[in-house]
């Protein structure tokens, strides 16, 4: 499960891939989601690839991704911005508090993704309730 979220840790969209697929294989689908482009893209080491970094820079997005351990020429990382990635991890934690998502009971990708969207809506509702 790959997700794109806003700077508040609210999910914007999901992409499902197999467990054996590398993380950066889902980047094209994540970036094609119909949401505005961010100023910076925070991601973990699994998304570190030269092609993804170049594509982000071409679109005016600053990639804030630590280099993989085995990279021959490590890239610089803005660790001050990277610390905000905890919003993403907390979003995944809130999603996985729902037992059906954590255990992946659904047999088809469509039903699993549908339930992910319902769970995302539940996370978004808190932003609109009791707001003055």
Interstrand relation of 11-15 and 2-5 (parallel, antiparallel or unpaired): antiparallel
How many Cα atoms sit within 13 Å of 71 on the Cβ side? 15
Token digits for 65? 């991704």
pLDDT the model gives residue 102:
87
Residues 6+ apart with CB under 8 A from 92: 3
Give residue 113's pLDDT band: very low, low, confident or very high (50, 70, 90).
very high
Q: How many CB atoms lie within 10 A of CB 53?
A: 19
pLDDT the model gives residue 110:
92
Which segments of the chain does DSSP mark as H helices, in order?
A: 27-31, 50-58, 79-82, 86-96, 99-103, 109-128
How confident is the model over 114-130, as pLDDT tens digits?
A: 999 999 999 998 887 77
| 10-14, 48-52, 87-91: the lowest-pLDDT one | 48-52
How confident is the model over 33-52, as pLDDT tens digits?
A: 899 888 998 988 888 888 88
24 near 10, Cβ under 8 Å? no
Residue-level length of the chain = 132
Give residue 93's pLDDT band: very low, low, confident or very high (50, 70, 90).
very high
Backbone angles phi and psi of 5, in degrees to 5 = -135, 165
- Does the predicted TM-score (pTM) go above 0.85? no
């Amino acid at each position: 499960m790959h997700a794109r979220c806003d700077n508040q840790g609210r999910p914007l969209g999901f992409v499902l891939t197999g467990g054996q697929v590398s993380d950066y294989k889902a980047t094209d689908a994540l970036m094609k989601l119909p949401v505005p482009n961010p100023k910076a893209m925070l991601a973990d080491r699994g998304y570190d690839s030269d092609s993804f970094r170049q594509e982000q820079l071409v679109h005016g997005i600053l990639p804030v991704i630590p280099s993989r351990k085995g990279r021959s020429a490590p890239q610089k990382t803005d660790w001050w911005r990277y610390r905000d990635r905890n919003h993403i991890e907390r979003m995944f934690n809130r999603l996985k508090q729902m037992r059906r998502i954590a255990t992946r009971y659904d047999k088809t990708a469509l039903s699993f993704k549908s339930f992910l969207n319902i769970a995302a809506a539940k996370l978004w509702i808190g932003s609109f309730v009791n707001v003055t």
